[in-house]
Structure 1
Amino acid sequence: MSEYVIRFLVGGVVVSAFAMLGDVLRPKSFAGLFGAAPSVALATLGIALYRHGADYAAVQSQAMMAGALALAVYSVIVCQLLVRSRLRALPATLLSLVVWLVVAVGLLAIAGGAT
């Protein structure tokens, strides 16, 4: 239970720091880049490093990077299907979800079967 409290507190502090950084940067669209996901990932990696060691944290960071790249591919595919193919949102996201899964699993396999 205390791990979740620590994750919550560290995540909140880092979210606040990223929000302040987003306020300082120009253009304001950068503020969205510094949302909750990076701070939660950093808090999770810190806890993983503390509780399980560097090797475990390295595997977790590889999985996070694979997920981030797969999300980027997913986002591009969704945008292309919505704009160019004029698909409705539900079919576009469901089709792209399959692409996300293939990319994420493929990247993890290339990375050596992380997690």
Structure 2
Amino acid sequence: MSEYVIRFLVGGAVVSAFAMLGDLLRPKSFAGLFGAAPSVALATLGMAIHQHGADYAAVQTGSMMAGAAALAVYSLFVCRLLVRARVRALPATLMSIVVWLAAAFGLWAVAGGQA
């Protein structure tokens, strides 16, 4: 089977499991939170371990955590622009891309620039 088929099957199974978990929890918005990102990350890490070994997957895990932190910084900045500065959504998100890039590359540099 090709890599994409395996990723699709594993990702779909994990999305379904997280969707069922999210359906059991309150509030129902957890279903969306647990849906996409964890399944893609788990499928990708599983394939990385299988193809390249645990050390490579550990580096990828660090990259995923840095990306998540950069996304959190970006999201907080967008919220500040939307709520406090009353900037419209499109300009706020476009301006915040610079913040996301700075956070992502800054964390990447601090982590040693490994990919």
Q: The TM-score by the shorter chain falls in which range?
A: over 0.9
DSSP 3-state at the match of 1:26: coil
Once the two structures are TM-superposed, the CA of residue 24 in structure 1 deviates from its matched residue by: 0.7
Structure with a larger share of its residues in helix: 1
Matches within 5 A, 1:91-110: 91-110=91-110
Once the two structures are TM-superposed, the CA of residue 111 in structure 1 deviates from its matched residue by: 1.3
Unaligned runs of 5+ in 2: none
- Per the alignment, residue 19 of structure 1 pairs with 19
DSSP 3-state at the match of 1:60: helix
Matches within 5 A, 1:8-47: 8-47=8-47
Deviations 1:76-104 (A, max 9, x none): 11111011111111211111111001101
Q: CA RMSD in A?
A: 1.1
TM-score (norm 2): 0.95
DSSP 3-state at the match of 1:59: helix
TM-score (norm 1): 0.95
Unaligned runs of 5+ in 1: none
Which consecutive segments of 4 or more residues in structure 1 shift more than 4 A? Answer: none
Matches within 5 A, 1:28-107: 28-107=28-107
Once the two structures are TM-superposed, the CA of residue 114 in structure 1 deviates from its matched residue by: 2.1
User: May I ask how many residue pairs the two structures share in their alignment?
Assistant: 115
* Contact persistence 1:49–1:56 (CA under 8 A): yes
Aligned letter for 1:70?
A
Q: Distance in 1 between matches of 2:114 and 2:66?
A: 10
Aligned letter for 2:101?
L
